[in-house]
């Protein structure tokens, strides 16, 4: 049985810890490996390695850094099949979905290949008599990322790519549930020509999270996970004077107006709700139908689509989605379905009793559809994070805008309509960070930026794009003047200078 340690100075090393976490095969339910739960002493060795590597890396010109990032991209592409299979075997998502996970992360690596342009500062010639002013975007030093189980390739790449390209050293603390892909990404960075010690991985639990927050030489923390932990990390980062971007949970709403193309809306929402077994922070688990007639049409269209979904093992090419990540998470999602029914939701399709022949111990859950969900239900307020779609009914667009705007989470939302004016009004007024118009999962492309509002995000700077460049750099502004030999100083040196 494989025991995964840490990645330090260009190679995987054994941990000194005697604590371990189980790595499951979600298809069979069997433990397929162990991951070391490291301690603060091990983190110290990694930080010291990162400090040494970063001091040299930040002085390498941006063109050379960009070439290494370009080669990193090429290495990931060349090893796509290996990475996708590794990801599916630990997470449970299908091979096709795993490839999508990796590809969306690769888009950010592609973006930072343009770092010579994106990291440029500003310059004003002649801001005063003989005075020029210019700014530079300097790296922070050693930074860290803490990533969740549901995107073990994409989110680490969202963080490490801009951090490394801008001249920082990066320490990754991935999820204990699926740690193999993050280790492999660090190896590929070395194979791409990246300096040893610059991209390190430490596996662990809360002990390592706290050690990262408390370490004086770690200048910034990027986090993606649940909202409670996001808030904890953000507060800890503030306490210890670190920059932080902390992305939390979500409860994304899909608004359907009566004039929507119902066939397309049903197909789009089907994938957005049930893809990756609903284990996406940008999944669409709530549909808000404007009018009872709209709800009935939607149910009529989506019911046969749900009934034809194929749940299978992650390597089944015909499977629409695979198992949940752990038995504990499956039990949690099942309990949320129980609670929704107890709260008064109408169960239209029940996925709780699904079993796969030959995989009776796998963490499979069939697609579930609930109707008549209301705003006072706990299961509406909380993130279910599984293959469960909830239907709500409202009377007007105004009511539909109100629901996502007043929800505790504000990650993403979507509206399905043929009315441009209604879509424009919705996009302008809804209190959510990312909006789709006839797009069910509005994750922005890599040269824009990702980030929610309210309890979906803590911090002022979003993930990737130019926001990512800004997060991993700090501005230094230089005001300069060069004297001629015969220049004479005129003016009062004790008065604040004006130009």
Which residues are tagged catalytic?
281
What is the CA angle 431-224-155, rounded to 5? Answer: 110
CA 39 to chain CA centroid, Å, is 25
């Amino acid at each position: 049985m494989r025991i995964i340690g840490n990645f330090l100075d260009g190679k995987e090393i054994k941990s000194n810890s005697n604590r371990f976490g189980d790595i499951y095969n979600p298809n069979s339910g069997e433990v397929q490996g162990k991951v070391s739960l490291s301690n603060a002493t091990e983190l110290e060795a990694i930080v010291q390695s990162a400090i040494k590597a970063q001091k040299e890396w930040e002085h390498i010109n941006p063109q050379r850094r960009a070439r290494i990032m370009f080669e990193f991209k090429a290495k990931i592409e060349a090893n796509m099949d290996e990475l996708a299979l590794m990801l599916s075997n630990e997470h449970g998502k299908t091979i096709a979905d795993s490839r999508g996970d990796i590809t969306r992360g690769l888009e950010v690596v592609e973006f930072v290949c343009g770092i010579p342009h994106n990291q440029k500062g500003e310059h004003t010639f002649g801001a005063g008599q003989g005075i020029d002013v210019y700014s530079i975007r300097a790296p922070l030093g050693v930074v860290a990322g803490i990533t969740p189980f549901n995107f073990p390739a994409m989110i680490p790449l969202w963080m490490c790519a801009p951090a490394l390209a801008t001249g920082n050293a990066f320490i990754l603390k991935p999820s204990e549930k699926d740690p193999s892909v993050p280790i492999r990404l660090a190896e590929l960075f070395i194979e791409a020509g990246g300096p040893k010690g610059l991209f390190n991985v430490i596996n662990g639990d809360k002990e390592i999270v706290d050690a990262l927050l408390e370490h004086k030489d770690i200048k910034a923390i990027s986090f993606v996970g649940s909202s409670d932990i996001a808030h904890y990390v953000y507060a800890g980062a503030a306490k210890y004077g670190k920059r932080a971007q902390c992305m939390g949970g979500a409860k994304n709403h899909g608004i359907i107006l009566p004039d929507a193309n119902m066939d397309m809306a049903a197909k789009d929402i089907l994938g957005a709700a049930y893809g990756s077994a609903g284990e996406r922070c940008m999944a669409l688990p709530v549909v808000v139908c404007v009018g009872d007639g709209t709800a009935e049409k939607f149910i009529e269209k989506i019911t046969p689509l749900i009934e034809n979904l194929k749940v299978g093992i992650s390597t089944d090419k015909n499977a629409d989605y695979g198992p949940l990540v752990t038995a504990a998470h499956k039990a949690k999602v099942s309990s949320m379905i129980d609670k929704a029914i107890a709260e008064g939701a109408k169960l239209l399709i029940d996925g709780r009793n699904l079993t796969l022949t030959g995989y009776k111990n796998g963490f499979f859950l069939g697609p579930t559809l609930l109707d008549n969900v209301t705003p006072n239900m706990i299961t509406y307020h909380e993130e279910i994070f599984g293959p469960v779609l909830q239907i709500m009914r409202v009377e007007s667009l105004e009511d539909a805008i109100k629901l996502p705007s007043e929800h505790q989470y504000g990650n993403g939302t979507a509206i399905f309509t043929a009315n441009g004016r209604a879509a424009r009004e919705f996009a302008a007024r809804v209190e959510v960070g990312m909006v789709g118009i006839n797009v069910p999962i509005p994750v922005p492309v890599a040269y824009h930026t990702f980030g929610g509002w309210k309890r979906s995000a803590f911090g002022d700077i979003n993930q990737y794009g130019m926001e990512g460049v800004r997060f991993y750099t700090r501005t230094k502004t230089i005001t300069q003047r060069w004297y001629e030999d015969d220049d004479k100083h005129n003016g009062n040196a004790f008065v604040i200078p004006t130009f």
